[in-house]
Amino acid sequence: MKKKATYQRYLNQFGWMCVAPSIVLFCLFMLYPILSSLYYVTRRWKGMTNTFIGLGNFIRMGQDKVFQAALGNNFLFMLFQIPLMVFLALLLAVLLNQGIRRFKGPFRLAIFLPAVTSLVVVSVLFRVLLQENGMLNNVLIKARLIAEPIGWLNDAFWAKVTIVLAMTWRWTGYNMVFFLVGLQSIDPEIYEAAEVDGASKARQFFRITIPLLVPVILFSVVTSTSGTMQLFDEPNILTWQGGPANATMTAALYIYRQAFFVNADFGYATAMSYVVVLISGIFAFIQMRLLGENRKAK
């Protein structure tokens, strides 16, 4: 008996040895930054020195119109980009799964392709394509769809549209793959039974396909929400530092600029990042609850 106990202890020790390197790295590059941010958040930087200001950074945020507008932009992008992308990804997945018989593989491959590009590359490509005298405007003018070039990058409204378009191009195929897997996991017998009962195709789609895909759709919404909350690369490169005149400024980009460009105020930047963490946490919590309820309902 005693021998067995020491053997169990040995196994337990080996288990700790396996996870130890990752825990050390976790403490260094996750835990320590989180803990030290508790110190930064209470301080205000002026040049190289900093002073304690308690909750002063949060009070300052209340008066910071640019930060509020930046958060507003994050929400705006979420509100328009995620539904647009989910709709397109769902449409393409359904068409690919049921609408055609041949060339499914090549279509899936082609539509997924944008997902291999980095966000930096996407931003550069769209920035060149969407110049005032750039390709898209030229094509649209030649096709007589517009008379004057559109200010894709210089107009406050169109710059927001540009961000949404670039994100949609990059992520639709990626999400489509998830939906495809979801569709393929639905048992065909369910449809056969519905067929026997005389349910129309449209009815089958809304009563069978969509409800069974809810977990996958929710998953895609969860990851997209957290991605959009962190939106940085596109506004920094594509619309150049959140331009024009902060029209595409996002929270992450504003925090970055406050910490590393404008006044190097790490305290204020940390406080703003707390708000982003809080909002992301709330979104994640709500969405997980929805997912949980959906699982229970089944």
- Cβ-based nearer residue to other proteins, 56 or 227: 227
3-class secondary structure per residue, 186-238: CCHHHHHHHHHCCCCHHHHHHHHHHHHHHHHHHHHHHHHHHHHHCCCHHHHHH
- Cβ-based nearer residue to other proteins, 9 or 59: 9
Neighbouring residues of 93: CB distance < 8 A, sequence distance ≥ 6: 176, 179, 180, 182, 183
- Cβ-based nearer residue to other proteins, 76 or 264: 264
Q: For other proteins, which residue of 64, 80, 191, 290 counts as binding (CB under 8 A)?
A: 191
Rounded to 10°, the helix 135-142/119-129 angle is 40
Dihedral over alpha carbons 247, 251, 254, 258 (to 10 degrees): 160
- Tell which positions 72-101 bind other proteins, by CB under 8 A: 88, 91-92, 94-96, 98-100
Q: For other proteins, which residue of 9, 15, 55, 292 counts as binding (CB under 8 A)?
A: 15
Distance CA 172, CA 195 (A): 31
- Cβ-based nearer residue to other proteins, 236 or 246: 236
Q: Of the candidates 48, 43, 76, which has an alpha carbon nearest to the alpha carbon of residue 60?
A: 43
- Tell which positions 232-291 bind other proteins, by CB under 8 A: 232-233, 236-237, 240, 251-252, 255-256, 259-260, 266, 269-270, 273-274, 276-277, 280-281, 284
- Cβ-based nearer residue to other proteins, 58 or 107: 107
- Cβ-based nearer residue to other proteins, 56 or 230: 230
Q: Residue 50: phi, psi to the nearest 5?
A: -140, 150
- Tell which positions 35-74 bind other proteins, by CB under 8 A: 36-37, 40
Distance CA 84, CA 106 (A): 24
Q: Which stretch binds other proteins (CB under 8 A): 12-20, 75-83, 144-152, 155-163?
A: 12-20
Considering the complex, what minimum distance in angstroms separates the CB of residue 27 from other proteins?
A: 10
Interaction between residue 193 and other proteins (CB under 8 A): no
Distance CA 293, CA 214 (A): 11
Interaction between residue 173 and other proteins (CB under 8 A): yes
- Tell which positions 104-143 bind other proteins, by CB under 8 A: 107, 109-114, 116-121, 123-125, 127-129, 131, 133-136, 138-139
